[in-house]
């Protein structure tokens, strides 16, 4: 069936977007956003398939001691954290023949099982000592409470267990195709449905195999989260440092344990929560920890960091010089204020992530700036926001494409849970969206108020999260919680 009840086509700007029961929905990702989206869609009677590239639910809260590599620099959002395959590349076997557009072997061509696993499903950013930084009393889903006795601040194991319990209880596990990666998502020529191409890694006692499949869906929900593609700045000399120091120059996505930096001088670049965590942990093992930050709007104050951590300004250049006395290599870091850091042994880049949806390549424009984003663009060169979303959920030009988990700096589980409830009732026809022109106008007004960039999705300001909830409720979304009624929101 088509999700559009007014005909097998997308609505015009003046028409309301209407969905119906028994809608067939794809959910990409099985972290907290995907679990909530799928659970509420299933409760509303939708036909749901969840695609999860790893073998477990829980997303970023799953700890994997392995880590994937990344490019230096990494500044193109469209790149993604994995190399997509070409259509038909794995239709019959995992053997890859090189083409004119493929001068090197595809990463999935490797015969090493561990390398294959990591290339297929790059491990997330969870490190051994990861804990929540929002109390569990605020960090929860309405699907179910935390187990009795759960502490406000707890480790990743408890959080993963909580999420996996919800996933199993509400049928999300049964709806999930594991070890299955989405390669591309495209609208059909007549715009009546979505085509999704996936590859599945079959692992057994024999030779691993990769199988390609094509699927059709009425609607697509993107729930892949924020923490996939590291942002690696093009700081002069950084790529050379990475080549020289190897695993002693990493992004926080590759950070696992502080013991790696025992007795070393560690430079942590960044001022957010991950920078704080790395500084806190490595200050117990490293000889010296230095934090560098340019003083961004979302930086944590130095007073929060351990007293032993030194704080410096931004970085101008990483330098490697041959020591004439020893013949070895001497490292120096030139700071923006003219000061110099000598003898740095390791660098941890807490420089954040690029918003990236490699399976939606047609909506990526690395050559367009945020201020020039047209209606048909979701991600621009900066990779720091998702353009053209109504209430941070529905794509204004085609609401059959939606997103859960886009906002930053919020009580994530609770807000994403609420987003998922809204999404489920809209897609199953329990309520309807305004016409596309109205969606555009509301989005444009929000851009004018908040500006573009990371701050657009941030709820870090005083009362901003409350304001967002009130705005949604005033807009009529409160009525979606009333069973048996069909209202516009």
pLDDT-based confidence at residue 69 (cuts at 50, 70, 90) = very high
| 209-235: average pLDDT | 98
Same domain, 220 and 242: no
Domain membership of residue 98 (yes or no) is yes
What pLDDT, on the 0 to 100 scale, is given for residue 88? 94
In which band, very low, low, confident or very high, does the pLDDT at 409 lie, cut at 50, 70 and 90?
A: confident
Lowest pLDDT segment from 124-128, 207-211, 223-227, 476-480: 476-480
In this predicted structure, the answer to whether residue 14 has a pLDDT above a threshold of 70 is: no
DSSP H or E segment with residue 321: strand 315-322
Residue 152 to residue 40: CA distance in whole angstroms: 26
Pairing of strands 389-390, 394-395: antiparallel
358 and 347, same structural domain?
no
> pLDDT tens digits for 229-245?
999 999 999 999 999 99
Determine contact, residues 377/298, Cβ cutoff 8 Å: no
pLDDT digits (tens, 9 = 90+) for 349-358: 999 999 999 9
Q: Are residues 287 and 214 in the same domain?
A: no
Query: Does 105 lie in the same domain as 78?
Result: yes
Give the pLDDT score at 77: 98
Count how many Cα atoms sit within 13 Å of the Cα of residue 178 in the half-sphere of its side chain.
13
Confidence tier at 17 by pLDDT (50, 70, 90): low
Q: Are residues 79 and 201 in the same domain?
A: yes
Which pLDDT score is estimated for 102?
45
DSSP 257-315: -GGGGTTSEEEEE--SHHHHHHHHHHTTTSSEEEEE----TTPPPGGGS-TT-EEE--E
CB–CB of 47/24 below 8 Å? yes
Query: Given this model, what pLDDT does residue 205 score?
Result: 79
**pLDDT at residue number 166:** 99
Q: Which helix (H) or strand (E) holds 118?
A: helix 113-120
Whole-number Cα distances in Å, 439 to 242, 389, 433, 434, 443:
45, 8, 8, 7, 6
In a domain, 9, yes or no: no
Q: Which of 320, 351, 382 is the last residue of a domain?
A: 351
Contact 373, 363 (CB under 8 A): no
CA dist., res. 401 & res. 377, Å (int): 13
Enumerate residues 6+ apart whose C-beta is below 8 A from 296: 271, 272
**Residue 464 CB coordination number (10 Å):** 15
Instruction: Report, as an integer, the average pLDDT of 254-265.
Output: 98
Show the domain range for 285.
232-351
pLDDT of 98 strictly over 60: no
Percent of the chain past pLDDT 70, that is, above it, reads 88
> Please, which residues bridge with residue 268 across strands?
291, 348
Residue 174 has pLDDT above 50, yes or no: yes
Whether 118 and 175 share a structural domain: yes
DSSP 46: -
Predicted local confidence at residue 13, as pLDDT = 62
Judge if 293 and 366 occupy the same domain: no
Are residues 270 and 238 located together in one domain of the fold? yes
Identify the weakest region by mean pLDDT among 229-238, 322-331, 471-480.
Answer: 471-480
Stretch 194-215: mean pLDDT, rounded?
94
Q: How many CB atoms lie within 10 A of CB 190?
A: 10
Residue 57 has pLDDT above 80, yes or no: yes
pLDDT of residue 298: 86
Q: Report whether 62 contacts 155 (CB < 8 A).
A: no
pLDDT exceeds 70 at position 3: no
In the structure, what pLDDT confidence band is assigned to residue 468 with cuts at 50, 70 and 90? low
11 domain-assigned: no
DSSP 189-216: TTSSSEEEEEEEEE-SSS--EEEEEEEE
Range from 330-344, 410-424, 465-479 carrying the lowest mean pLDDT: 465-479
Give the end of a domain, one of 297, 329, 351.
351
Domains held by the chain: number: 2
Last residue of a domain, one of 330, 351, 372: 351
82 with 215, same domain: the answer is yes
Whether 156 and 179 map to the same domain: the answer is yes
Q: What span, in angstroms and rounded, lies between the C-alpha atoms of 462 and 467?
A: 9
Q: What confidence score (pLDDT) does residue 418 get?
A: 92
Query: Does residue 221 share a domain with residue 110?
Result: yes
Tokens of 87: 């259509």
Q: Give phi and psi for 160, each to the nearest 5.
A: -60, -45
CA dihedral over 154, 155, 157, 162, signed as positive or negative: positive
pLDDT-based confidence at residue 76 (cuts at 50, 70, 90): very high
**Which tokens sit at 437?**
């022109």
Q: Which residue has the tokens 């029961």?
A: 21
- In a shared domain, residues 186 and 58: yes
Mean pLDDT of the residues in the chain: 90
In this prediction, residue 100 has a pLDDT band, given cuts at 50, 70 and 90, of very low
Decide: 222 and 29 in contact? Cβ < 8 Å: yes
Q: What is the CATH number for 94?
A: 3.50.50.60
Q: What is the pLDDT of residues 334-377, one digit of tens each?
A: 999 999 999 999 999 999 999 999 999 999 999 999 999 999 99
C-beta separation of 416 from 403 below 8 A: no
Residue 248 lies in a domain: yes
Query: Does the residue 325 lie in any domain?
Result: yes
The pLDDT-based confidence of 481 (bands split at 50, 70, 90) is very low
Phi-psi region of 295 (alpha: psi -120 to 50; beta: other; left: phi over 0): left
Whether 244 maps to a domain, the answer reads yes
What number is the average pLDDT over the span 262-288? Answer: 98
Flag whether pLDDT at 486 surpasses 50.
Answer: no
Residue 215 scores a pLDDT above 70: yes
**1 falls within a domain:** no
Q: Does the pLDDT of residue 4 top 60, yes or no? A: no
Q: Residue 82: inside a domain, yes or no?
A: yes
User: d(Cα 402, Cα 226) in Å, to the nearest integer?
Assistant: 15
Tokens 């589980």: give the residue.
413
Smallest Cα–Cα separation from 415: which of 4, 222, 134? 134
Looking at residues 252-260, what average pLDDT do you find? Answer: 98
């Amino acid at each position: 069936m088509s999700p559009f009840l007014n005909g097998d086509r997308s609505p015009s700007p003046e028409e309301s977007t209407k969905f119906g029961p028994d809608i067939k929905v794809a959910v990409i990702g099985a972290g907290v956003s995907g679990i909530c989206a799928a659970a509420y869609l299933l409760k509303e009677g939708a036909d749901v398939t969840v695609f999860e590239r790893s073998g477990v639910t829980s997303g970023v809260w799953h700890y994997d001691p392995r880590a994937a590599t990344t490019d230096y620099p990494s500044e193109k959002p469209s790149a993604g954290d994995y190399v997509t395959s070409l259509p038909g590349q794995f239709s019959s076997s995992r053997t890859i023949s090189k083409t004119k557009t493929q001068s090197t072997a595809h990463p999935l061509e490797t015969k090493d099982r561990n390398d294959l696993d990591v290339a297929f499903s790059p491990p997330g950013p969870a490190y051994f000592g990861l804990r929540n930084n929002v109390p569990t009393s605020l960090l929860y889903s309405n699907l179910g409470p935390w187990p009795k006795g759960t502490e406000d601040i707890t480790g990743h194991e408890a959080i993963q267990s909580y999420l996996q319990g919800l996933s199993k209880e509400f049928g999300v596990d049964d709806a999930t195709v594991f070890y299955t990666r989405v390669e591309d998502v495209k609208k059909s020529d007549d715009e009546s449905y979505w085509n999704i191409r996936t590859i599945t890694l079959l692992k057994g006692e024999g030779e691993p195999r990769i199988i390609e499949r094509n699927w059709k869906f009425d609607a697509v929900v993107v729930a892949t989260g924020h923490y996939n593609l590291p942002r690696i700045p093009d700081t002069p000399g950084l790529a050379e440092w990475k080549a020289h120091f190897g695993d002693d120059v990493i992004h926080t996505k590759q950070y696992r344990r502080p013991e790696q930096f025992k007795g070393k001088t560690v430079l942590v670049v960044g001022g957010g929560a991950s920078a704080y965590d790395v500084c806190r942990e490595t200050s117990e093992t490293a000889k010296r920890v230095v934090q560098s930050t340019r003083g961004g709007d979302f930086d944590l104050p130095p007073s929060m960091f351990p007293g032993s951590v030194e704080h410096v300004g931004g970085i101008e250049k990483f330098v490697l010089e041959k020591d004439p006395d020893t013949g070895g290599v001497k490292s120096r870091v030139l700071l923006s204020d003219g000061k110099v850091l000598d003898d740095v042994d390791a660098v941890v880049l807490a420089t954040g992530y690029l918003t990236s949806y490699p399976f939606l390549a047609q909506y990526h424009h690395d050559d367009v700036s945020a201020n020039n984003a047209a209606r048909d663009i979701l991600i621009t060169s900066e990779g720091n926001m998702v353009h053209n979303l109504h209430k941070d959920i529905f794509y204004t030009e085609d609401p059959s494409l939606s997103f859960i988990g886009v906002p930053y700096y919020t009580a994530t589980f609770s807000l994403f849970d609420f987003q998922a409830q809204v999404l489920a009732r809209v897609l199953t026809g329990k309520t309807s969206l305004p016409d596309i022109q109205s969606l555009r106008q509301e989005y444009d007004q929000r851009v004018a108020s908040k500006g573009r960039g990371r701050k657009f999705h941030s709820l870090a300001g005083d009362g901003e999260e409350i304001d967002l909830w009130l705005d949604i409720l005033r807009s009529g979304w409160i009525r979606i919680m009333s069973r048996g009624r069909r209202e516009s929101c």
